[in-house]
Chain A
Amino acid sequence: MSGTFVGMPSFPRAAKEAVHNKTLRDNLRHATHTIRDKRAKAVAELADWAELREAGKQIKDHTLRHLDRYLVQLESRVTEAGGTVHWAADADEANRIVADLVKATGESEVVKVKSMATQEIGLNEALEAEGIAAYETDLAELIVQLGDDRPSHILVPAIHRNRGEIRDIFREKMADWGRAAPHGLSDTPADLAEAARLHLREKFLRAKVGISGANFMVAETGTLVVFESEGNGRMCLTLPETLISVVGIEKVVPTWRDLEVFLQTLPRSSTAERMNPYTSTWTGTADGDGPRTFHLVLLDNGRTDTLADEVGRQALRCIRCSACLNVCPVYERAGGHAYGSVYPGPIGAILSPQLRGTQSEIDASLPYASSLCGACYEVCPVAIDIPEVLVHLRERVADQGGKGHRVEKAAMKAAGWVLDHPGVLGAGERVASRTRKLHPSKLPGAGAWTRSRELPEMPAEPFRDWWKKNRKPKSDGKKP
């Protein structure tokens, strides 16, 4: 299960397994429904939610429009505060920079605070290839790492696991990675948390290098910000001697003042909390407090290409709250792994094909992994019109004309011609009605339909024929 996402099958095939796995579907259903109901309550408490959503959208759009300026400002502030800034164009470059920085410290292990950006570039695997062990310290990430698994949710990476499965993973795997699980470990949340605490504490106290991401970077002061719930992130950020933060370039905001919006919308959207339990900020280095060396790796990896697309660029507003995953009926059935990227669910379906391009089978299928029901747009705290971007990306994939799309395009063209000739359309409908008792399942495309659903019975005559027989004489046929 572990490793990269290269060579993933298309979404429909990857989803099939999950759809028919009852335990997985029950776990997902329970978790997403619980959090979605809580989120709705937390959001309803704020009378100005609509204004906050609009403000978040505008702050992000403004920053993206002037990204060059804010990034340069950020770089000079970080440098002035004693940090070093590195620019990485893609995953390979970012991984090489980080690996070299770790090697320069002479260390062979690092502790990590949960970071989507480092998952996106496959940092752990790249470090492992260089003989460096990277330990995830977020509880859910730990479960995923020990289970030799992949995260399936942005915020709750182990959402697809239940307590019993987690206990088994701890019992079997903890000893391979450090301190073993306590003897006779039960599956109560308190016992599981205590086992993780003991296991992780050992690592925090030993590690000399920490690696993090960031939720926001403030350009005016060069400050990085992490929102988290467990406090493990804070340990990673303060205990090591060297701190390396890998952050996507779209995470910058102009000022501290801008954070007030996201401090309200992010926790409520993601964990349904009024305030996230731990908000850590760090600015360069300070004598006698925290890491003595600080490196910031600014990651592009497809982001400037995404920014160049007028419709698609709104995906860069994403603050990774995961609200869209929790309301998505497709995610709920297919699970996060089917999306073949660290960004699952609706945001993954529009972000991954933009960051990675639509050449691979999985990326070409992601824009279609939605019924366009619009629930994701409704909850998104920065108002990303995900359905709009999905349709836009479908155009790109259809134009590209890969597997299956040549036939589809021809069919669309033929249908378009018929639909532009009402007489032909009416004749076709009449034929369909008259032959309605014959082989309905032989209709094109019927296979995918009739495996699980009955086809509707064709009527005796189409509406336009009924109209001609029953109403047309009364109408003068002229427009008003």
Chain B
Amino acid sequence: MRVALFVTCVNDAVYPSTGIATVRLLERLGVEVDFPEAQTCCGQPQFNTGYRAQTEPLVRRTAAAFEGYEYVVTPSGSCAAMVRQHYPKIGDASAAALASRTYELTEFLVDVLRVTDVGAYFPHTVTYHPSCHGLRMLGLGDRPRRLLEAVDGLELRELPGADECCGFGGTFALKNSDVSTAMGQDKVNNAVSTGADVLCGADNSCLMHIGGVLRREEAPLRALHLADILASTREEPLV
């Protein structure tokens, strides 16, 4: 099976490790991964900030870049939600077609590859934050948690108030910095209360915000993308 990786702009520029982990994980599961280099950004930041005219060319570009691939996989719930929910409204037929072929990573693993045990090894206590777009717009449900529970050595701890927004929200984090930070601090306090050493999520933009608060408050845990954990094995463990 051959799939196209939609790495997303944030992962490309800031969190390449998540893209690399996604490639390694999919290849380990027997999937042939391609990276169409014409891809850039799905247009979500522009769209959500009210710049529809600036969004349209990016929608066209993204749709063209992934033309012809049966599956497009992305390690970002919010970018997957942008493509799935908004592309049919903003773009032409090819954008609408892309919407139906785009999968968030955990959906692809659980629904298409039909695996929950991906053979990962990660000997840590982990608490999981389900980002809003994955949770509500995509309806990821317990897929990420099932994948985490099957990881060898991993102990999953329930995050209090898990379904509450972390306060990122794209430009919201800048435009309403005080409220955004207050939300992030509550998220971090809840994560700390679990005693876990890792806060895991499936959206690096949320993790950039939560991780930023974690490090500022010197909280005793680190933020990690789900793909980084699932890519970790006994042979090549992520430490």
Min distance, Cβ A259 to any Cβ of chain B, angstroms: 30
Counting CB contacts under 8 A, is B37 at the interface? yes
Residue of A nearest to B173 (CB): A449
Name the residue of chain A whose CB is nearest to the CB of B18.
A463
| Contact between chains at B17 and A459 (CB < 8 Å) | yes
Cβ of A462 < 8 Å from any Cβ of B?
yes
Given contacts A12-B177, A449-B212, A479-B68, contact A391 B48 (CB under 8 A): yes
Q: Which residues of B, 1-52, contact A by the 8 Å Cβ criterion?
A: 2, 7, 9, 11-17, 19-20, 23, 33-41, 45-52
Cβ of A464 under 8 Å from chain B: yes
Min distance, Cβ A363 to any Cβ of chain B, angstroms: 14
B residues 170-218 near A (Cβ < 8 Å) are 170-184, 208-209, 211-213, 215-216
Q: Which residues on A sit within 8 Å (CB–CB) of B69? A: 479-480
Chain B residues, Cβ within 8 Å of A462:
12-13, 16
> Are B174 and A373 in contact, with the CB atoms below 8 A?
no
- How many angstroms between the C-alpha atoms of A20 and B177 in the bound complex? 12
- A464 with B12, Cβ < 8 A, contacts A329-B167, A453-B216, A454-B212 known: yes
Residues A395 and B52 in contact in the complex (CB < 8 Å), given A448-B174, A464-B37: yes
Q: Mark B147-183, 1 if CB is under 8 A from A, else 0.
A: 0000000000000000111011111111111111111
Q: Is B141 an interface residue (CB 8 A)?
A: no
**Residues in A whose Cβ lies below 8 Å from that of B2:** 480
| B67 close to chain A: CB less than 8 A | yes
Chain B residues near A42: list those with CB within 8 A.
Answer: none
- Residue of A at shortest CB range from B213? A453
Which of B37, B179, B212 is A455 in contact with, Cβ under 8 Å?
Answer: B212
Q: Report, as a range, how many residues of chain B touch the other chain.
A: 35 or more
Q: Is A19 an interface residue (CB 8 A)?
A: yes
Q: Is the CB of B211 within 8 A of A463?
A: no
Is the pair B182, A419 in contact by a Cβ cutoff of 8 Å?
no
Of B16, B19, B45, B167, chain A has the most CB atoms within 10 Å of the CB of: B16
Q: Is the CB of A464 within 8 A of B35?
A: yes
Closest beta carbon of chain B to A434's beta carbon, Å: 13
> B16 touching A15 by the CB < 8 A rule?
no
Q: Which of B106-114, B116-124, B129-137, B226-234 contacts A (4 or more CB under 8 A)?
A: B129-137
Distance (whole angstroms) from the CB of B130 to the closest CB of chain A: 11
| A329-B183, A416-B46, A453-B181 known; A471+B176 contact, CB < 8 A | no
B61 interface hit (Cβ, 8 Å): yes
Question: If the complex has contacts A412-B49, A463-B11, are A371 and B172 also in contact, measured as CB distance less than 8 A?
Answer: yes
B167 — which chain A residues lie within 8 A by C-beta? Answer: 329, 371
Chain A 375-401 interface residues, beta-carbon cutoff 8 Å to B: 375, 377-378, 391, 393-399
Question: When the two chains form the complex, which single residue of A25, A475, A480 contacts B70, counting CB atoms closer than 8 Å?
Answer: A480
Q: How far is the CB of B78 from chain A (nearest CB, A)?
A: 9
User: Could you tell me if A371 and B41 are in contact, using CB atoms closer than 8 angstroms?
Assistant: no
Establish whether residues B51 and A422, one from each chain, have CB atoms under 8 Å apart when the complex forms. Answer: no
Cα of A19 to Cα of B9 in the assembled complex, Å = 32
Q: Given known contacts A15-B176, A449-B173, is B54 in contact with A466 (CB within 8 Å)?
A: no
> In the complex, what residues of A have CB within 8 A of residue B178's CB?
12, 15-16, 19-20
Q: Is the CB of B212 within 8 A of A453?
A: yes
Q: Which residues of B contact A (CB under 8 A)?
A: 2, 7, 9, 11-17, 19-20, 23, 33-41, 45-52, 54, 57-58, 61, 67-70, 132-133, 136-137, 163-165, 167-184, 208-209, 211-213, 215-216
CB<8 Å pairs between A and B, sample of 17: A12-B176, A19-B182, A330-B176, A373-B132, A375-B163, A416-B57, A420-B40, A422-B40, A449-B177, A454-B212, A456-B15, A459-B17, A463-B7, A463-B11, A466-B20, A467-B35, A479-B36
